[in-house]
Chains A and B, each alone.
Chain A
């Protein structure tokens, strides 16, 4: 059940109607059942996986809370890691590693005949696995008490707005919100409704609108340098609008129910360096990787070589988290390398968006952001490419393909996408100058109403073109 489907709209109406009249404990029970229904609607067979993961982590955390023995605690957290990463390994990575091992062995003249099976990737498995893992690690680190209410914990793992594509919530943030009584507050409903509309607008008008133009170049032979450049720029906005659109809808739905989910995107293309980019892009994953992987590896402690190793390893695993394919590994290596280079030359400090109205500062910022956007886009080329051969071809075209005939083959995106992109650009610039995500509240009422009406109309126009599944569902 996709957020952009009519079925989901009907589902949401029923959930709200029940939520408005039920007392707190019954609300949680209803949200839990609704979340399982939502997930089971994709494929009911995978409900067993999420239930298994829930039971294991709930039990492990309770046992962790009841023992002080260091060895037992390590074993318990090991069980959680093994279970969650094991599920991820089997369902997401088994075929990838089996195929890769066979290829490597074949190149060495050894024939391996490992069985690869047709395993369907359970939607959202990477998201809820990381969410539940963070809980047991926090309890193990004694940063969080174990949750005693199994229903609350099950709702934390399966909360439908963010179940299949994040944001990856922390238990320290979401569990208390589940445990305490909630009320439907007008400001939350208004803000939530705006976020839902904004997310839908980004997804159906811009992301879906750009998809066909990107696919026309990345899914077909015969592109030239100009095609690759333009299609990659379009993909940068497609993936941003797709993923941040989903996050906005998730946050909006949660907000109307009285939950505050973390902000997953903060104008990532305004970043002027990789460090800043990762503070702005998929914040819930990058902070997860920082807190549970990078810091566990030693973080910034130790010599430069150790720090670079830690950065590279974190980003490579972050790349692999996105998908079981070598281009995601390459994307991770690229991101790790860019972070290392930046750290080596610029140090750990980063500059942010200028304050005030100093024209020279803004011009410098715009140039740096535009320059770093090119680096980000090359990363997106690695991310979007269908094969190593395509990465090689497209990179070659970008480096040395400008002397060829440059007839543009990228199909023009539909009107809704172009209008949506224009509205987003205006909003993005206004947001930068205002330095607050709710900048539009300072606008005159007719202008605010006009913005909402424009988004509604453009979203409607977008809905009438071909729709696509959210990109991050596959991760």
Chain B
């Protein structure tokens, strides 16, 4: 080594070794405290997990989280793992009372809250929800398509959530929601040479997921195939975040993995979203085409199509700006929440990011007006 470096003397070296040893001991003590005091117990219901335990679990690998969520039976499986699957379809719809109007809404929790407010304001609207937590537009569109042969709804609503638009290049919220992954899978739509393309996920139901994860060793052929598909076709897949390894047991490694996710998501977001220019890439080219297909297919089925644009915080009104030209040009009825709930006003949102109930009420009032107007127009056609 060069003479730029000072020679090491023995006393200094022993001091340093002692300090490093103490440092390692403190980190080990931290690991032990987290492992014993803030560890998830097998089969512990999600509702009973305290905030600090949850905090240290955020950085666990996706595979590590999935095996804890999906149990051999539906009862033992966490409710979130059962949500959002397009397959199998729900049971047939119950009959309507006279004067009632069935509204099928393909969306997420935001859309569900608005639907609940609508039914409370006007019980003649019987809302049926279909979708999952944080569902991107490709899931809600796939749900609409799958439900065409089952539903008898007079009105079909395709909901698009602003913060989920960037997830449209994914096949699941396993990859697109690392901290709290949702197992549901969905197709990935894209527009290639002007045509809408669709890639269906290798795993398309909870039963298939359960079978693939049954061994717990992540070497089931279907699981390997699924991972390969994610690697090839899921824009948000990252092996470092997804794959389970022995370091999942260390809290410090989980914190590092969570930090890596922060970097991953912010870098990925810049590829599809710019705070000034709005959405770009796959979402920008696909969403308007999906809207056109939604209109055509709903009209073929004799239903009234409504597009619901839900603006949560962090993405301004860019979703509306992206969709407005196609909605106006094709005269697709739409409701955009930014008109009643400006996304830059945090007081209109709850701490978990959802729209506050009073604001949902206002959105539901506007939604009701739109539905009544479209139903009247539908009678005249």
Chain A positions within 8 Å of B, measured between CB atoms, are 6, 19-23, 27, 182-186, 190, 216, 219-222, 409, 411, 415, 445-446, 448-450, 452-454, 456-457, 460-461, 463-467
B15 / chain A contacts, CB cutoff of 8 Å:
445
Interface pair B19/A184, CB less than 8 Å apart: no
Interface pair A411/B351, CB less than 8 Å apart: yes
Given A20-B1, A449-B23, A457-B30, A216 contacting B6 (CB threshold 8 A): no
The one of B19, B20, B52, B58 in contact with A464, judged by C-beta atoms closer than 8 angstroms, is B58
Find residues 244-274 in chain B having any chain A CB closer than 8 Å to their own CB.
252, 255-256, 258-259, 261-263, 266
Interface pair A186/B255, CB less than 8 Å apart: no
Q: Does B372 touch A at the CB level, under 8 Å? A: no
Question: Which of chain A's residues has its CB closest to B348's CB?
Answer: A222
Interface pair B2/A20, CB less than 8 Å apart: yes
Please give the distance in Å from A137's CB to the nearest CB on chain B.
34
Q: Does B321 touch A at the CB level, under 8 Å? A: no
Question: Which of chain B's residues has its CB closest to A458's CB?
Answer: B255
Interface pair A465/B262, CB less than 8 Å apart: yes
Query: Other CB < 8 Å A-B pairs besides A221-B345, A409-B347, 14 of them?
Result: A27-B4, A182-B4, A186-B12, A220-B346, A222-B347, A445-B15, A449-B19, A449-B21, A453-B27, A460-B256, A463-B255, A463-B256, A464-B59, A467-B266
Find residues 219-261 in chain B having any chain A CB closer than 8 Å to their own CB.
252, 255-256, 258-259, 261
Given A445-B19, A457-B252, A460-B259, A219 contacting B344 (CB threshold 8 A): yes
How would residues 44 to 87 of chain B score, 1 for a CB under 8 Å from any chain A CB and 0 otherwise? Answer: 00000000100100110000000000000000000000000000
B12 / chain A contacts, CB cutoff of 8 Å:
186
The one of B18, B59, B258, B262 in contact with A467, judged by C-beta atoms closer than 8 angstroms, is B262
Closest 3 CB pairs of A and B: A449-B22, A464-B258, A463-B259
Interface pair B6/A464, CB less than 8 Å apart: no
What is the bound-complex CA distance between A466 and B21, given in angstroms?
Answer: 32
Please give the distance in Å from A188's CB to the nearest CB on chain B.
9
What is the bound-complex CA distance between A461 and B59, given in angstroms?
Answer: 10
Q: Does B89 touch A at the CB level, under 8 Å? A: no
Interface pair B262/A184, CB less than 8 Å apart: no
Please give the distance in Å from B162's CB to the nearest CB on chain A.
17
What is the bound-complex CA distance between A118 and B15, given in angstroms?
Answer: 56
B263 / chain A contacts, CB cutoff of 8 Å:
6, 467
What is the bound-complex CA distance between A190 and B84, given in angstroms?
Answer: 53
Q: Does B215 touch A at the CB level, under 8 Å? A: no
How would residues 351 to 378 of chain B score, 1 for a CB under 8 Å from any chain A CB and 0 otherwise? Answer: 1000000000000000000000000000
Q: Does B26 touch A at the CB level, under 8 Å? A: yes
Q: Does B8 touch A at the CB level, under 8 Å? A: yes
Interface pair A216/B346, CB less than 8 Å apart: yes
B8 / chain A contacts, CB cutoff of 8 Å:
186
A454 / chain B contacts, CB cutoff of 8 Å:
26
The one of B19, B261, B344 in contact with A448, judged by C-beta atoms closer than 8 angstroms, is B19
Interface pair A220/B345, CB less than 8 Å apart: yes
The one of A21, A216, A222, A452 in contact with B4, judged by C-beta atoms closer than 8 angstroms, is A21
Please give the distance in Å from A474's CB to the nearest CB on chain B.
15
Interface pair B30/A222, CB less than 8 Å apart: no
Interface pair B26/A450, CB less than 8 Å apart: yes
Interface pair B252/A460, CB less than 8 Å apart: yes
How would residues 1 to 39 of chain B score, 1 for a CB under 8 Å from any chain A CB and 0 otherwise? Answer: 111111010001001101111110111001000000000
Question: Which of chain B's residues has its CB closest to A185's CB?
Answer: B6
Interface pair B259/A20, CB less than 8 Å apart: no
